[in-house]
């Protein structure tokens, strides 16, 4: 059964940076065949998980418009690790961040939560003023 384990969350001041990591293993069809993505879930009524960034098997990248200028997604296949570099963090970026895997490509768009085959347990990011 596939496993995704996130790390790198924490508390940071407004304008600061963090790099999240996700070590993935035992994905059913092999990690190279999956779209890997980051989602986040902010507290509050009706706040479901929203896609932040994704990288497809062919290397295509997708980003949420609100995050595109401030985040970079990357993957190291040799280390089986997905990264999310986040810069110029804002108070509204406070959320639980989840690593996710979807079998196959995503046609240049962020996958929806319903398409995800594997989820990590999440890592908390808290931005303070």
pLDDT for the residue 44? 80
Residues 6+ positions from 10 with CB-CB distance below 8 Å: 18, 124, 125, 126
Two tokens, residue 83? 């990264």
pLDDT for the residue 46? 77
Under 8 Å between Cβ of 96 and 124? yes
pLDDT for the residue 47? 78
Helix (H) or strand (E) holding 39: strand 34-41
Q: How confident is the model at residue 1 (pLDDT cuts 50, 70, 90)?
A: confident
pLDDT for the residue 45? 65
Q: Which residue in this structure is represented by tokens 């929806």?
A: 112
Rounded Cα distance between 123 and 98, Å, is 7
What are the pLDDT digits (tens) for 91-124? 999 999 999 999 999 999 999 999 999 999 999 9
Residue 72, Cβ density class (10 Å: 0-12 exposed, 13-18 middle, ≥19 buried)? middle
Longest dimension (CA), the chain: 43
pLDDT for the residue 99? 98
Q: What residues are paired with 41 via a beta bridge?
A: 96
What are the pLDDT digits (tens) for 18-48? 999 999 999 999 889 999 999 999 988 677 9
What are the pLDDT digits (tens) for 46-82? 779 999 999 999 999 999 999 999 999 999 999 999 9
Two tokens, residue 51? 């896609």
């Amino acid at each position: 059964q596939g496993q995704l384990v996130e790390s790198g969350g924490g508390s940071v001041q407004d304008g600061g940076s963090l790099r999240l990591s996700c070590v993935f293993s035992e994905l059913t069809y092999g990690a190279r065949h999956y779209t890997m993505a980051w989602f986040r879930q902010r507290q509050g009524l009706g706040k479901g998980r929203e896609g932040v960034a994704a990288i497809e098997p062919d290397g295509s990248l997708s980003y949420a418009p609100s995050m595109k200028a401030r985040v970079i997604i990357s993957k190291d296949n040799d280390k089986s690790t997905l990264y999310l570099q986040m810069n110029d963090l804002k108070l509204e970026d406070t959320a639980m961040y989840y690593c996710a895997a979807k079998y196959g490509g995503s046609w240049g768009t962020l996958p929806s939560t319903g398409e995800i085959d594997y989820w990590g347990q999440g890592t908390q990011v808290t931005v303070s003023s």
